[in-house]
Amino acid sequence: MPEPSRQAQLLSSSVFRRQACDKLGPECRLFRAPGRVNLIGEHTDYNQGLVMPVAINRYTYAGAVPARAGEIHLESREFEDIYTAKLEMLQPEKGWGNYLLGMAAGLQQRGYKLRGTRLYVQSEIPFGAGLSSSAALEISSGLAMLGIAQTWPHQGMDMVWAAHFAEHHFVGALTGIMDQFIATFGRKEHALMLDCRSLEWEPVPLPAECELVICNTGVRHALAASAYNQRRHECQLGVEHFQRRLPEVQSLRDVTWNDFLRWQTDLPDAVMRRCRHIISENRRVEEARRAFQQHDLSRLSELFSASHRSLRDDYEVSCPELDAMVEAAAQAPGFIAGRMTGGGFGGCTVNLVYRAQVSRFIASVSAAYRSQMNHIPEIWAVESADGGGELALVNDQELLIRAAT
């Protein structure tokens, strides 16, 4: 996601509704989709592996009204660029509009007949923090376009694949499907364990005494995009290596831990470590599911720590700021488990914290991080959330009147 011209602010949907009505008129309809935090299973999604994301109550909102037939018009509170395009001639542009233009193209590719739509969007999800502001933008705007077209997703996966199309063909990011999936299918009070190959998933209940706390390092290093594609390339080199020994291998998902131990010796060091992270991370996701189901918070702490070490040492996507934040959290009151989350090279950590000690945890982490890094971090206690849908406002309270799934 490109940097916005104005910083996103946390706001209620009633405030945004008034702003959207000022822009679009009183007939404006309101849609939203959540951001997400990934508890465990990092960089496994594009390796057809296992992930465990949670939708969070930080949203991107899309206001929509009908527009001139065959046209889509895009505006945002965060970005100055305005886009107008023909639905029958959608092409990639420069800037943030590609997320929405690509979503429109992806929906049409999947057989949905869109109508002229004017969209005004705003996000309360921090950009560049690894909380999937881009997928929330795609899903909220896609639902808005379908709502104006007087239709709705025939199945939730249509939204996921349309957003995936937008990322690959309009944005130019070779992402997996995790972010779009959780923005569509998220379930309150649960994480989702998703198999990114079979697309099978199951809800995993979150411990009632725990709260999710996200700590934003406030940095995003410039090498993130190029390093992401480099990691994908190195994983593919690993797949090709194992295929020469094990023809049935189609992705690193197919390589067992014993296979890895047997055939790793001929791999270049960097490729070996990338493979070791992916293969061990898939095992950690399965173990984390059992730990959540068994309410084994001690085991969750071990698994989160092991995941962060693997991301730091084997996948090499951490950075000093993320490591400092993880260390600060581990020493804070109420801490249960924590690690970096998202693509890396900056962004956020995710922490499980005892609910009764969240305030003390936040104060302790903020002070420790400021002392070490000379920066005051943004820290949010967040709740799990449902996936995207259309909203109505009743006495300024949000009511989800139609869910994406």
Q: pLDDT tens digits for 196-236? A: 999 999 999 999 999 999 999 988 765 566 788 899 999 99
> What CA–CA distance (Å, rounded) separates 286 from 223?
31
State what percent of residues in the chain have pLDDT above 90.
80
pLDDT score at 221 = 67
Which one is catalytic: 158, 179, 314, 386?
179
pLDDT score at 11 = 53
Average pLDDT value for residue range 285-292: 98
Who contacts 125 (Cβ-Cβ below 8 Å, separation ≥6)? 8, 35, 58, 59, 60, 131, 132, 133, 136
> What CA–CA distance (Å, rounded) separates 142 from 31?
9
pLDDT at 3 over 60: no
Phi, psi of 221 (to 5 degrees): -80, 145
pLDDT score at 5 = 43
Average pLDDT value for residue range 31-35: 95
> What CA–CA distance (Å, rounded) separates 159 from 323?
35
Task: Name the DSSP letter for residue 212.
Answer: E
pLDDT score at 210 = 96
pLDDT at 282 over 50: yes
Tokens 């970096």 belong to which residue? 340
Average pLDDT value for residue range 283-304: 97
| Structural domains of the chain, with CATH | 13-205+386-403 (3.30.230.10), 210-382 (3.30.70.890)
pLDDT band with cut points at 50, 70 and 90 for residue 7: very low
Q: Angle at CA 176, nearest 5°, toward 224 and 262?
A: 85
Q: Measuring CA to CA, how many Å separate 87 from each of 60, 221, 284?
A: 23, 36, 44
179 is catalytic: yes
pLDDT score at 396 = 67
State what percent of residues in the chain have pLDDT above 70.
95
Q: Measuring CA to CA, how many Å separate 295 from each of 10, 208, 215, 290, 292?
A: 33, 10, 24, 8, 5
Residue 31 bridge partners (DSSP):
62, 390
pLDDT at 6 over 80: no
Tokens 């209620």 belong to which residue? 12
| Predicted TM-score of the model (pTM) | 0.90
For 117, counting Cβ atoms within 10 Å of its Cβ (0-12 exposed, 13-18 middle, 19+ buried), the class is buried
Q: pLDDT tens digits for 165-206? A: 999 999 988 788 999 999 999 999 999 999 999 999 999 999
